[in-house]
Amino acid sequence: MVRGSLGRLASRTLSVAGKWQHQQLRRLNIHEYQGAELMGKFGINVPKGAVVGSVQEVKEVLKNVFPSEKEIVVKSQILAGGRGLGTFKSGLKGGVHIVKAEEAESLAAKMLNQVLVTKQTGPQGKVVGKVYLCEKMSLVNEMYFAITLDRKTAGPLIIACAEGGTSIEDLAEKFPDKIVKVPVDVFKGITDEDAAKVVDGLAPKTADRQSSIEQIKKLYELFCKTDCTMLEINPLAETADKKLVAADAKLNFDDNAAFRQKEIFALRDTTQEDPREVAAAKADLNYIGLDGEIGCMVNGAGLAMATMDIIKLHGGTPANFLDVGGSASEGQVVEAFKILTSDDRVKAILVNIFGGIMKCDVIASGIVNAAKQVDLKVPVVVRLEGTNVDQGKRILKESGMTLITAEDLDDAAEKPLL
């Protein structure tokens, strides 16, 4: 329910200098069960649960963790939203089910190692490697809670709504007055007054007010101490025993904080990520996979964006954003080519280099060595300008490789389409 909704809500509701600001993209995303464990460490109320990776583990959890439970919530674990309404490629409908305890084992077997397709995964879906078994709670009310970063107020912003468990972005569009936003002074931290405003916005029906205020303060503490970029709970539920419980949560963390959040970043599940982006990160390359057919290797983010634009202008579609940076080594260039050629959709590769700190002869040597190591089955168009450009062109010419050279940006963008 919760995964992915705040990015859309923030883009619609957070105004920055008169323009709509999209959610920050530099982030670590963790699974629901990992988020629940982390919140529990900060004293935040979460449902009792256990994660399993095999049918045998399901048996053990039912025996040791839920010996007297009559019903169990079985949740597939993937890094994408819309799990409840998703469909497995095997035909099973729904990635989240409430079943009788004796049925949990057979259901988990149908989920584990199967591909779940949701509105956020794309048609390829994601493999369910873990299943989260949770207690079924008696909920009397469902609310929405989130903390994100707001440039307008230059600090954390708490978003709350008395209605949760549903599409919060649709609710915000139709009934914006129902959304309560409480900015927090990043230097003072959250005050009792701030937390009370949030609780008033949530409007719990039976939960103890002071206990609810303390829960809000603990959520803010988690957000700050773990370098979150986003903490979203949907629903933040009210139970029959008058408690606020984070029934389903999504947490993202700033990549720049990896050096001081080693325990959290060790939770990263690379099996849920684009393997091209994982390989690029290991090679210290800036790469984002797209859906086009022309692979791009460029130095500098600005030139990379311009290259993608001019490809579109000439009728093509870029397969990626790939910035090798200003000081890439020959080895990084080779790795870049391996990543580009691993994409079956790529029909041609465009290398566009303006040599400054990044010398053209280094790029040229990397291209030649990459062509020798990688079985190139698509044409490669190379446009070089700048430092050591003549040496770079000579290396390409003397390599004996079938490489297509381009004189300018328009020429470079047109040739992959021929």
Smallest CA-to-CA distance from 238 within 263, 269, 204 is with 204
Residue 287 among the catalytic residues? no
Alpha helices (runs of H) in 152-274, residue ranges in sequence order = 168-174, 192-202, 209-225, 262-265
Catalytic residue among 33, 144, 220, 287: 144
Tokens, residue 252: 């993202």
Identified catalytic residue from 232, 238, 293, 335: 232
Our answer to whether residue 33 is catalytic in this structure is no
Residue 234 marked in a binding site: yes
Residues 43, 57: Cα–Cα separation, whole Å: 27
In the DSSP assignment, the letter for residue 399 is T
Q: Is 343 annotated to bind ligand?
A: no
List all residues 6 or more positions away from 95 whose beta carbon is below 8 Å from its beta carbon: 75, 76, 78, 83, 84, 86, 88, 111, 116, 118, 128
Q: Please check if 300 is assigned to a binding site.
A: no
d(CA 129, CA 148): 29
Q: Is 83 among the annotated ligand-binding positions?
A: yes
Handedness of CA 220, 223, 229, 231 (dihedral sign): negative
Is the Cβ–Cβ distance between 385 and 406 less than 8 Å?
A: no
Say whether 142 counts as a known binding-site residue. yes
Residue 248 counted as an annotated binding residue: yes
According to DSSP, residue 22 is labeled P
Q: Is the dihedral of CA 313, 314, 318, 323 positive or negative?
A: negative
- What is the rounded CA–CA span in Å between residue 410 and residue 17? 35
Cβ atoms of 206 and 239 closer than 8 Å: no
Q: Phi and psi (nearest 5°) for 146?
A: -155, 155
Question: Is there a contact between 227 and 194 (Cβ–Cβ < 8 Å)?
Answer: no
Confirm whether residue 75 is marked as ligand binding: yes
- CA distances to 137, 293, 392 from 341, rounded to whole Å, are 49, 11, 22
111 is in an annotated binding site: no
Residue 95 annotated as binding site: no
Residue from 168, 171, 175, 144 nearest 158 by CA: 144
**45 among the known binding-site residues?**
no
Under 8 Å between Cβ of 148 and 10: yes
Is 357 assigned to a binding site?
yes
Q: Which residues are annotated as a binding site for Mg(2+)?
A: 234, 248
Enzyme catalytic residues: 144, 232
Q: Which residues are annotated as a binding site?
A: 75, 82-84, 142, 234, 248, 299, 356-358
Q: Which residues are annotated as a binding site for substrate?
A: 299, 356-358
Q: Which residues are annotated as a binding site for ATP?
A: 75, 82-84, 142
